[in-house]
Amino acid sequence: MNPYFDSFVRWQMRKLKSMGKIVQDLRYTVYSPLDGQPCADHDRSSGEGVIPQEYTLIKMEVVSPFPPKMSVLEGKKVYLAAATLRPETMYGQTKCWAVPDGKYGSFEITLFNI
């Protein structure tokens, strides 16, 4: 390692950071459950160029009476979170269709109810 070059690079990085050209921020990436770690584009043998898909969640309130399986939630505000890639098409949305025998989960969120 060349200490002069290393010193120059450190100086350059500090200078760029002080100018606001370098910031620490979030970066979304693909996670590999098989490897238990994030995997970059060049780490994958297939799926190169694939990036995480962004969805917009539309929160729709479920009104009483609840079905028997949801009776424990009576008295609480419950919402369905519908995911869409085109939020501009959701204005005036009044219904949300669900598969009667579908597998669903509920999650309690303290800040925004269920």
Q: Is residue 100 part of a domain?
A: yes
Mean pLDDT of the chain: 83
Q: Is residue 90 part of a domain?
A: yes
In the chain the beta strands, taken as DSSP E runs, fall at 30-32, 37-39, 56-62, 78-84
Q: Is residue 4 part of a domain?
A: no
Q: Is residue 31 part of a domain?
A: no
Q: Is residue 53 part of a domain?
A: yes
pLDDT for the residue numbered 67: 81
pTM, two decimals, is 0.48
Q: Cα–Cα distance between 114 and 110 in angstroms, integer?
A: 8
Q: Cα–Cα distance between 74 and 59 in angstroms, integer?
A: 18
11 pLDDT higher than 90:
yes
Q: Is residue 37 part of a domain?
A: no
Give percent above pLDDT 70 in the chain: 95
pLDDT tens profile 71-110: 888 888 888 888 889 888 888 877 888 888 888 877 777 7
Across residues 54-66, what is the average pLDDT?
Answer: 85
Domain count along the chain: 1
Q: Is residue 8 part of a domain?
A: no
Determine the structural domain holding residue 95 and report its residue range. 49-114
pLDDT for the residue numbered 12: 95
